[in-house]
Amino acid sequence: MSIRRFFVLFSIILLLVLIGCGTTAIRVPIVKPAEINLKGIEKIAVGEISGFMGLDFADELTTALFNTERYEVLDRQNLNSILSEQGLTWTGIANPKESAKLGDIIGAAALVVGRVSDHSYNEEVTYDDRKRKDGTNYRIYWRKGLAKLVINLKVIDVQTGRILATKQFEAGYSAQTTATNSKPAEIDKTSLYRGCREDIVKQFVKMIAPYTVYVKMSFLSDGDIPDLQMGVNMAKVGNWDNAISYFQRAVKENPGSWKAHYDLGMAYECTGDYEIAIERLTTAYSLNPKNSIQTEIAYCRQRIEEQRRLMEQLGE
């Protein structure tokens, strides 16, 4: 056998081994609890956001809160009319006596108020002189722009005037343009400030409403255990019942396979059955004490606590 033929055959065998004993990453949605518990609060309104771009912030916060489908979002214009009729102001709502008047009208609700405490935009143009292969010189320019916003937001219980949460949020957003032998195009700083606002709004929503993140969950296959690959295929399309059935059969027929126990544990983790997931992953760890399995067990324990907080926030 020639050396070239040997290496071709070796490469094919290696590829088959890798395919038969591969790792498959599957993106799975996980619902995370809000940072604070607003249990009992079903209505929310965005009040006055003072300072730079305050109205834009108020509108975007209102839209984001509505999109959570977690709260009944009260119209700010209607609230302005109510405040006017009652002789109240947004700044006075933090006073328990004043807020109680509004609470008597709209019931249990939270009010979001805030102030943009800082904003900045910095831009610089730099260049670098270079030489082409034909010996001619040219100059490359870069224009870099960076916008920053800082805002303080409070969540107030309308009925009591009590501050439920207060936090400072900040974000930075940048952009760059380039050109050769001429100054680069101007940067739209308005769009950079918009990017900052979007980032801050996302941060705020995570503070007061449950949210979904997507995590990559790794599953293993083994050429000697076809049920593992069948289970992985089911997991890829979100058919977790069938995936678990295949993994259970793999465990039953191959009780000494750490991969079978691992995949079954991961499937239970993906479906929110964290206690069972820990049992299966612990068995996998006993058969093959890898740090990655221990890390996954820790994730399950963390998610048990997050699930408890989530159920508490949702009143379930």
Residue 256 belongs to domain with CATH number:
1.25.40.10
Q: Where are the alpha helices (DSSP H) in the chain?
A: 3-20, 54-67, 76-86, 96-106, 189-208, 226-236, 240-253, 258-270, 274-287, 291-314
* Same domain flag for 54 and 149: yes
Q: Give residue 121's pLDDT.
A: 97
Q: Say if residue 203 is in the same domain as residue 229.
A: no
Please tell me the distance from the alpha carbon of residue 134 to that of residue 144, in angstroms, as a whole number: 30
Q: pLDDT per residue over 277-291, tens digit each? A: 999 999 999 999 999
DSSP, collapsed to helix, strand or coil, labels residue 292 as helix
Residues 232 and 201 in one domain: no
**In this structure, is residue 166 part of a structural domain?**
yes
State the pLDDT at residue 209. 93
Domain of 255 in residue numbering reads as 221-314
Of 212, 242, 275, which residue is a domain's last? 212
Is the confidence at residue 120, as pLDDT, over 80?
Answer: yes
Count of structural domains within the chain:
2
Q: Which CATH number covers residue 127?
A: 3.40.50
Domain identity same for 239 and 302: yes
Domain boundary among 212, 241, 261: 212
| Rg for the chain, CA atoms, rounded | 28
Global confidence as pTM: 0.80
Q: What is the pLDDT confidence band of residue 94, given thresholds at 50, 70 and 90?
A: low
148-186 residue pLDDT tens: 999 999 998 888 888 899 999 999 999 999 999 999 999
Tell whether the model's pLDDT for residue 97 goes beyond 80.
Answer: no
